[in-house]
A and B are shown apart, each in its own frame.
Chain A
C-alpha cells in the first residue's frame, strides 16, 4: 500500500500552482465577477499553453497521459485559486464524456482540440425531456447550463422520436442556438440558458443508455470537483487562520480565543476527512476500481461539507470585515455554494452514497 501522490504528480501540481498564483489572483477573479466577460481568457490560454487541459487525456488524442491523480491535483489548484475558467465543464465533463462514450472518429475529431484548449465544451444533463431530436435536429431548451455562454459545443441529454434518451453533441456558435446569461450566486462562473431550434445534433454513445452513461460521467467528475472544493476549503481555512493571528481585540490576537480556535479546529477536521476521502477517490478514479461510485460519492459529500463549513466560518472569523465586498471571503463563500449545486446537491450525493453501500442484510 502507498497512499500518497508521486513526485511527478506533485511537480505538475506545483507548476499549475505557480502559474495561478502569478496570473490568477483575486483581481482576476473579481474582473469576471464584476465585469462583462464570461471567463478569464488570459488564464485559460495560459493553462492551455502549459498543456493543463491535456493532463489526463491519452497521448493518442493529443493528451499528456499523466493520469487522473495528476488531474486531481490540478483541480485542487483550480479550486484554491477560484480560477474563473470553464475547466470543469470542458475537462471533467465534455472531454470525459467523449473519451468514455465517443466513437473512435468522434474522439479523434473533438478530443485533440479539447486537449489543446482550442475548444471549450460543456454538458447539459438535467431534464432530458426538455430537448427533443427529430431527424438529427435538436430542439428545445436547457434552462441552466454551466459555462453555456462560453462553450463551443455542448453535450445535451435529449430524447428522440421514440422517447429514447441519448447524449447529443451540438455546436453552439450557430444561428439555430440562442444563449442567455443568467445571474447566479457566483458570477465568477458563467451560467446560461440555451435555446435550440433544429440544431445539428450528433449522437454520442448508445441510445437509451443515456441516464446510466451520465451517472458514470458524474461519478468521475464528482471526484475532480471534490478536489476543487478541497483546494478552496484549504484556502478559506488559511485565510481564517492568518487573519486570526494578525487581528487584535481585547489586547490580544483573536486567534488566542478558544471560541475561534475551536471553530477553526473543526474546519481543519472537516478538511482533513475530506482530503483523505478525496485521495482514496483519486485512486479509485485512476484504477477504474469497483469502489469508484462509493468513493466518488463519499469524496463529494465530505468535500462539500468541508468547503461549506470553511467558507461559512471564514467569514465568521473575519467578523464585519468578512461581510464586506472588499474582502475575498465572499468569493469563496459564493464558489463553495456554486460547486455544491453543480452535478447535483449534497442531498442527492448523500442518497447516492447510501445506494452504493453494500447491503449486508442476511449476509
Chain B
C-alpha cells in the first residue's frame, strides 16, 4: 500500500505541471474557481468558445483524452497517468464539462462498435473538441425503463428512417453528432428490438427544443425526429443488438459521472467556518460538527473508493457495477448540504440574488439543481437495484413485461391498453 507517486509517476506529474503552468487560461482562473454548482464561470467570455479553445490547445500538445490510443487523438497513457493529469488540471477541468458526454460515453461506444475508418474520422475531432457529441437515449416513455423507448427506425434500402422523440439530451443544441438508440422491431420482447446508430445532428428533420427546468435554467433539450435519414453504415452493433451497445455507454456513464463528482462538502465547510453563530462560528456548534463529520466521512469514502478503483484499473481489472455508489451518495448528500446550509442562513436563505445572498447564492442554486442529480444518469432507485442485483446477487424484480412482445406491453399511452410504438 503506497499513496506516494512512483518515480515514473512523479516525473510524469512534473511534466504535466510544467505544461499546464505554461499554457492554462489563467485569465479565467478566478471565475472558474468561484463558479457555482452546475455552471462554468468564464466571466464575460463565451463558455463554449473558451471550452473549445482550451480543449484544442490540449489536443495540439497531446494532452487531450490522454488514455486513448494515439491514432484516435490520445497519447496511450495509463489510468494512473490519467488520474495525475486530472489532479493537476484541477479547476481548469471545469471547462471540459461540454465534452464529458462525447468523450466519456459516446467515444467508448464508438471504440467498441464503429469500424476503423469511422474511428479515425470521428475520435480525433472528439478528443480535440472540434466536434461535440451528445447521447440520445431517454424518452418521455423510457427513462428508468430505457428499453421501453419508442423512437422508431425503419429500414429503407441502405438507409434508416427515424421518427419519434428524445428528451433530457444535454448539449443537443451545440452538438455536431449524437448516438441514438431506436426501436427497430416492436414485435419482439423489448430488449431485443433495439438498434443503435450515430447521426449528424444537423440532419434534416431534427428539431431541438430547450426544456425549461424546475430551477429555471435550460441545460437539457427535447429532440424531435421527423423522417430523419441515417445511413446503415452508421449503425453501431447488430440490428436488434442495441441494448448490448447501450450497456457499454451506460457503464462508462457511471464512470464518467462517478469519478470526482461534486458533493458540496468544500462549500459547506467554507460556510460553517465563517458563518457567525452564538459567540463563535457555526463550526463550533456540536450539531453542525456532527453533520460535517458525517459528510466528510462520506466524501473521503468516495475519494478513497475512486483510488481503489484506479488501483484495480491499473492492474488490468475491469471496473464493476460497484462504482454506482458515487452518484448515489453524492446526489443525496448535495441535496442535504444545500438544505442545511440554507437553514443555517435563517431568513436570508430565501434570497437567490447572488449580489445579496450568502455565499453568492451558491447553496440556493445547489438546492434547486440537486433534485436532478438524483435522477439523471440513473435514478437513486435504479442505482440501488443495480447494487442489489448485480453486486449483491439478489433476485431480479418480478417484471410485468418480461418475455412479452413490445407491442403487447400495457402502458398509459394507448386507449386499448396496448402500446402504440410511434407517435
Interface string of A202-243 (1 = CB under 8 A from B): 000000000000000000000000000000000001000100
A343 at the interface (CB under 8 A from B): no
B29 at the interface (CB under 8 A from A): no
| Contact A301 B293, beta carbon cutoff 8 Å | yes
Among the stretches B108-116, B195-203, B269-277, the one at the interface with A is B269-277
Interface string of B358-389 (1 = CB under 8 A from A): 00000000000000000000000101110111
Main secondary structure of the interface of A (DSSP, over half): helix
| Contact B311 A256, beta carbon cutoff 8 Å | no
Chain B residue nearest to A253 in the complex (CB): B395
Set of chain A residues within 8 Å of B387, measured between Cβ atoms:
265, 268-269
Among the stretches B134-142, B242-250, B299-307, the one at the interface with A is B299-307
A22 at the interface (CB under 8 A from B): no
Chain B residue nearest to A237 in the complex (CB): B392
A350 at the interface (CB under 8 A from B): yes
| Contact A261 B389, beta carbon cutoff 8 Å | yes
Set of chain B residues within 8 Å of A237, measured between Cβ atoms:
392
Known: A276-B308, A279-B308. A2 touches B1 (CB 8 A): yes
B145 at the interface (CB under 8 A from A): no
CA distance A361 to B298 in the complex (A): 22
B233 at the interface (CB under 8 A from A): no
B71 at the interface (CB under 8 A from A): no
Give the residue of A3, A252, A282, A302 whose beta carbon is less than 8 angstroms from that of B310: A3
CA distance A264 to B395 in the complex (A): 12
A249 at the interface (CB under 8 A from B): no
B80 at the interface (CB under 8 A from A): yes
A69 at the interface (CB under 8 A from B): yes
| Contact B3 A276, beta carbon cutoff 8 Å | no
Give the residue of A253, A269, A353 whose beta carbon is less than 8 angstroms from that of B328: A269
| Contact B388 A276, beta carbon cutoff 8 Å | no
The A-contacting residues of B in range 279-295, CB under 8 angstroms, are 283, 286, 289-290, 292-294
Interface string of B23-57 (1 = CB under 8 A from A): 00000000000000000000000000000000000
Set of chain B residues within 8 Å of A273, measured between Cβ atoms:
297-298, 301-302, 305, 325, 329
| Contact A354 B394, beta carbon cutoff 8 Å | no
| Contact A261 B394, beta carbon cutoff 8 Å | yes
Known: A4-B1, A273-B298, A277-B301. A354 touches B292 (CB 8 A): yes
A-B pair number, CB within 8 angstroms = 157
CA distance A205 to B9 in the complex (A): 41
| Contact B325 A272, beta carbon cutoff 8 Å | yes
CA distance A252 to B393 in the complex (A): 15
A295 to chain B, nearest CB (A): 8
Set of chain B residues within 8 Å of A266, measured between Cβ atoms:
384
Q: How many residues of chain B are within 8 Å of chain A by beta carbon? A: 53
Give the residue of A261, A265, A268, A354 whose beta carbon is less than 8 angstroms from that of B289: A354
| Contact A264 B3, beta carbon cutoff 8 Å | no
Contact-residue size bin, chain A (C-beta under 8 Å from the other chain): 35 or more
Set of chain B residues within 8 Å of A5, measured between Cβ atoms:
1
CA distance A357 to B291 in the complex (A): 14
Give the residue of A258, A272, A280 whose beta carbon is less than 8 angstroms from that of B385: A258
Known: A253-B395, A256-B394. A351 touches B289 (CB 8 A): yes
Chain B residue nearest to A238 in the complex (CB): B392
A271 to chain B, nearest CB (A): 10
B12 to chain A, nearest CB (A): 12
B355 at the interface (CB under 8 A from A): no
B412 at the interface (CB under 8 A from A): no
Set of chain A residues within 8 Å of B325, measured between Cβ atoms:
268-269, 272-273
B350 at the interface (CB under 8 A from A): no
Interface string of A243-287 (1 = CB under 8 A from B): 011000000110110100110111011001110110110110010
A231 to chain B, nearest CB (A): 17
A321 to chain B, nearest CB (A): 18
A34 at the interface (CB under 8 A from B): no
Most buried by B among A256, A265, A305: A265
B391 at the interface (CB under 8 A from A): yes
B187 at the interface (CB under 8 A from A): no
B130 at the interface (CB under 8 A from A): no
Give the residue of A1, A69, A305 whose beta carbon is less than 8 angstroms from that of B297: A305
B158 at the interface (CB under 8 A from A): no
Set of chain A residues within 8 Å of B274, measured between Cβ atoms:
361
| Contact A256 B398, beta carbon cutoff 8 Å | yes
CA distance A347 to B288 in the complex (A): 12
B401 at the interface (CB under 8 A from A): no
| Contact A350 B289, beta carbon cutoff 8 Å | yes
Set of chain B residues within 8 Å of A264, measured between Cβ atoms:
388, 392, 394
The A-contacting residues of B in range 1-25, CB under 8 angstroms, are 1-6, 9
| Contact B301 A262, beta carbon cutoff 8 Å | no
A298 at the interface (CB under 8 A from B): yes
B176 at the interface (CB under 8 A from A): no
B359 to chain A, nearest CB (A): 14
| Contact A255 B290, beta carbon cutoff 8 Å | no
Interface string of A1-24 (1 = CB under 8 A from B): 111111000000000000000000
Set of chain A residues within 8 Å of B391, measured between Cβ atoms:
268
Set of chain A residues within 8 Å of B300, measured between Cβ atoms:
276-277, 280, 298, 302
| Contact A262 B381, beta carbon cutoff 8 Å | yes
| Contact A258 B397, beta carbon cutoff 8 Å | yes
| Contact A1 B301, beta carbon cutoff 8 Å | no
Set of chain B residues within 8 Å of A286, measured between Cβ atoms:
1
| Contact A274 B388, beta carbon cutoff 8 Å | no
The B-contacting residues of A in range 338-356, CB under 8 angstroms, are 347, 349-351, 353-354
| Contact B1 A69, beta carbon cutoff 8 Å | yes
| Contact A272 B293, beta carbon cutoff 8 Å | no
CA distance A286 to B83 in the complex (A): 24
CA distance A351 to B6 in the complex (A): 35
CA distance A66 to B70 in the complex (A): 44
| Contact A3 B308, beta carbon cutoff 8 Å | yes
| Contact A265 B293, beta carbon cutoff 8 Å | no
| Contact A255 B395, beta carbon cutoff 8 Å | yes
Chain A residue nearest to B273 in the complex (CB): A361
CA distance A294 to B392 in the complex (A): 31
Set of chain B residues within 8 Å of A326, measured between Cβ atoms:
none
CA distance A62 to B347 in the complex (A): 64
| Contact B310 A1, beta carbon cutoff 8 Å | yes
Chain B residue nearest to A268 in the complex (CB): B387
Set of chain A residues within 8 Å of B388, measured between Cβ atoms:
255, 261-262, 264-265, 268
CA distance A5 to B2 in the complex (A): 10
Set of chain A residues within 8 Å of B286, measured between Cβ atoms:
347, 351
B88 at the interface (CB under 8 A from A): no
CA distance A261 to B397 in the complex (A): 9
Contacts A/B (CB < 8 Å), 6 sampled: A3-B308, A5-B1, A245-B393, A252-B395, A256-B397, A265-B384
The 7 lowest CB-CB distance pairs between A and B, nearest first, are A273-B301, A350-B293, A276-B304, A261-B388, A265-B384, A265-B387, A255-B394
10 other A-B residue contacts (CB within 8 Å) besides A3-B307, A272-B305 = A1-B4, A4-B1, A4-B311, A4-B315, A261-B384, A261-B388, A272-B325, A276-B307, A277-B304, A279-B308
